[in-house]
A and B are shown apart, each in its own frame.
Chain A
């Protein structure tokens, strides 16, 4: 079957969320960024947020090009400054949802200062970090996350620096939502991004991803699919894991899951509170009083909930055909009973299916929960996970207990 690029562009289910006039994209075959962008676009659709009010900001590098392919307001900035630019966007118009999509070299290397301070301020941003352990665009140099002994063009005899564990870094800085997945866990990535889009505060989602052209080839690790197999074999699902235990060794275990989710006032909420104290209830930001802003926000939440509800009622008919064509695994999830997901945590050779099924199920539950206003939905995913636990056994504690044994083995 040959692929006609024109048919592909017009017929793509992502035609609304991606800039089809910019396709084909620059990413290599086997690269994880494409599937992450797909997950992101999917998450935006599923979240029910107004795409007009979404701004995507990227830095420099392979992942930095994401801004050029998503069909939203998008800003491709200088190297490392994406978070700072996004801060400006969010503060200049608090009605916008602002997403930073960039690589680990951009965010944690040259842009490290902006990243930690945005987390410290609890700036209302969603930061999606594609971590492929390498500077791809410039030819495969070492990054702040490159694990020890890995080869890079600037560590030709093996890396001897200590890498960052990004979840730990973000946790220490006060990020209020921290998750890590690999580019193989695209449904979880979608779910995490969806959650992050709907919540307030600084959300950090790390996605471990293969760079077949540079990192994998230089380290003789095969191609993209081989690395996905590695992710499948070596990832340990551990919701609520202590972020101090999330370090990644060379080709070692990768702890995945949602590590942190907590609430605290965002930068703007704190600023507004202080200013109301100072100026009084008629305090305005850009010509709107805070109660007016809150009312607008509430109305927007209701619109989002309505869109999500509409989507869920529309889903069953549409899903069967579109999904069965694209992702046969999903329809199976709906029908077949799910097997305990803890197997993934306990057996390294476990099949990917249980994780997918289990988490997909959780996703469904939490989505249903989240149709309610945000405040009550804040802890929904965690609750949903617990509720679903008896059936699906994604109980954080179970896997948390089980996996250390596993890793010690």
Chain B
């Protein structure tokens, strides 16, 4: 990735006291996002409001679309017209967005979508927290497709990960989803926005070669391919149909193998470059707590208490949710007695941990339906049980 320093126009450097939602908007502006199409939905609306407020002074454009279907559709159009684009939503809106999330995956359109999760199903708990859309982010759109998803645990990380989300999105030409939650979204904390020259951003890579060699796609299971920008005279065509590298529909089984393999493998064969984990005292641990988002901060209390009791507990915090850190869990399975997986849902990521543990280590789910974060004592109990 050839990064450059951020455009100072969008960077509001310095220490701030802001919530996670606002930090998402600031992260987007710092990363060079200049187009935002959104639809109001609690608890994500503050991001849209912040962007709308900041847009005129920065020369960016905000539009409130008629629904989430239109929001993400407008992002696809805007991305191919040359802009870095973002939207925010939560569960019900994300359900609507899955339609064109599939189109964005198929057309390899870079975009960032923040899902500030709230309790479900359906309208559920509009103002209360949850982590229930983890699997929806991965398996929402129909057909095989692969996205990248990140999960921040604080407003500071909301900023940092949004910048990173744009960089990953631009490089792999894939939608990147920020899976945060109501608690982080509405939590006010210190957020330090670094000076522009310390923020590394990946600029949009637009094709500029001869017209006859112009291909919107290259099916080689790699990232880093240029986009083609509307208005540059290349007469590109893109479609949601199975297509060739020229972008023209080729609806055969053979071509589908090429396209789908590329879409999956451009992420799955580059997991070493993509996946970021936050590990603490994993070496020699008997129990490893696997957590993410706000739950990882609750787990810290339980881990500290367990260590005081003499239990060797390690912490594995998933910053990258998708692609899942299969390799790391496989390495640890068999070495540790058990994995403890607390999450604010009925047990979603725990299934991935179980799959990768392969029965070599116990996996204990500390699930907790939406509406509130865990009581650390519940996680501590699970750690004690795991250590037996």
Contact residues in B for A78 (Cβ distance below 8 Å): 73, 99-100, 102-103, 240
CB distance from B67 to the nearest CB of A (A): 6
Q: What class of interface size applies to chain B in its complex with A?
A: 35 or more
The residue from A71, A73, A284 contacting B231, defined by CB atoms under 8 A apart: A73
The docked-state distance in angstroms from the alpha carbon of A56 to that of B44 is 33
B238 part of interface (Cβ distance < 8 Å): yes
The docked-state distance in angstroms from the alpha carbon of A87 to that of B67 is 13
Contact residues in B for A80 (Cβ distance below 8 Å): 69
B248 part of interface (Cβ distance < 8 Å): yes
- Provided the pairs A75-B80, A78-B73, A84-B65 are in contact, do residues A89 and B237 lie with their beta carbons within 8 angstroms? no
* B103, A77: Cβ atoms closer than 8 Å: yes
B63 part of interface (Cβ distance < 8 Å): yes
Chain A, 1-49, CB within 8 A of any chain B CB: 19, 22
The docked-state distance in angstroms from the alpha carbon of A19 to that of B82 is 23
* A114, B70: Cβ atoms closer than 8 Å: yes
**How would residues 208 to 241 of chain B score, 1 for a CB under 8 Å from any chain A CB and 0 otherwise?**
0000000000000000000000111111111111
* A76, B66: Cβ atoms closer than 8 Å: no
A265 part of interface (Cβ distance < 8 Å): no
* A87, B70: Cβ atoms closer than 8 Å: yes
Closest to A277 in B: B56
* A96, B230: Cβ atoms closer than 8 Å: yes
CB distance from A68 to the nearest CB of B (A): 6
B28 part of interface (Cβ distance < 8 Å): no
The docked-state distance in angstroms from the alpha carbon of A80 to that of B67 is 13
B116 part of interface (Cβ distance < 8 Å): no
**How would residues 31 to 45 of chain B score, 1 for a CB under 8 Å from any chain A CB and 0 otherwise?**
000110100000000
Closest to A89 in B: B77
Closest to B236 in A: A73
CB distance from B362 to the nearest CB of A (A): 44
The residue from A22, A74, A283 contacting B236, defined by CB atoms under 8 A apart: A74
Residue picked from B102, B236, B237, most chain A C-beta under 10 Å: B237
The docked-state distance in angstroms from the alpha carbon of A53 to that of B231 is 5
The residue from A93, A117, A283 contacting B230, defined by CB atoms under 8 A apart: A93
A67 part of interface (Cβ distance < 8 Å): yes
CB distance from B107 to the nearest CB of A (A): 8
* A85, B76: Cβ atoms closer than 8 Å: yes
* B248, A68: Cβ atoms closer than 8 Å: yes
- Provided the pairs A73-B235, A286-B34 are in contact, do residues A88 and B230 lie with their beta carbons within 8 angstroms? no
The residue from A68, A85, A91 contacting B63, defined by CB atoms under 8 A apart: A91
Give the A-binding residues of B (Cβ under 8 A). Answer: 34-35, 37, 56-57, 59-61, 63, 65-67, 69-71, 73-83, 85, 99-100, 102-103, 230-241, 248-249
Given contacts A96-B81, A114-B69, A285-B59, 13 further A-B contacts (CB under 8 A): A22-B248, A52-B231, A55-B231, A72-B235, A73-B230, A74-B235, A81-B69, A81-B103, A84-B70, A92-B78, A113-B67, A275-B56, A278-B56
Q: What 7 A-B pairs have minimum CB-CB distances, sorted nearest first?
A: A88-B77, A88-B74, A84-B73, A92-B78, A92-B81, A76-B239, A84-B70
Give the B-binding residues of A (Cβ under 8 A). Answer: 19, 22, 52-53, 55, 57, 67-68, 71-78, 80-81, 84-93, 95-96, 113-114, 117, 267, 271, 275, 278-279, 283-287
19 contacts between A and B (CB under 8 A): A71-B235, A75-B76, A77-B76, A78-B73, A81-B70, A84-B69, A84-B71, A87-B74, A87-B77, A88-B74, A90-B81, A92-B78, A93-B82, A93-B83, A113-B70, A271-B61, A286-B34, A286-B61, A286-B83
